[in-house]
Amino acid sequence: KEQHYSQQHSSLINKAYQTLLNPLSRGLYLLELNGVEPAQETDCDADSAFLTEIMEINEKLAEPKNEDILEEIETLIKVKQEELTKEVTAAFERDDLQEAKKLLAKMKYFANLEDKLKNKKIPS
């Protein structure tokens, strides 16, 4: 019984650690704690320049595999994620939950691009 109890708690601790480790999941959790629903894909009020940028990266990822382009996209995604993480942190620090919500929605787009990039880099 004690071993089962220990396994359950270990699982919860691992899940909590993974949630807090990633800036996107941590931010979404903080929104949830504050009673703010995360942005849904349908209520995307993201600016058109941002959506155009995402579309262009998606188009590059759809092209035949090219290591140089993939490296360029990987760097771009990393830089954007770091910028957004700083902006989200600042939004939470000034208790601007609506701004944090918008920024986290943008971070989701970059997380999806990162997943697509990882899948593209896997040798087929």
| 37 or 89, greater pLDDT | 89
Q: Domain range holding 5?
A: 1-121
pLDDT above 60 (res 8): yes
The total of structural domains in the chain comes to 1
Residues 6+ away with beta carbon under 8 Å from 45 = 102
For the chain, give the mean pLDDT.
89
Return the CATH number at 40. Answer: 1.20.1280.20
Mean pLDDT of 16-36: 92
Confidence at 90, pLDDT banded by 50, 70, 90: very high
| 64 or 42, greater pLDDT | 64
**Per-residue model confidence (pLDDT) at position 63:** 87
For residue 60, give the 3-state DSSP assignment: helix
**Per-residue model confidence (pLDDT) at position 2:** 86
**What angle separates helix 48-62 from helix 97-121, to the nearest 10 degrees?**
10
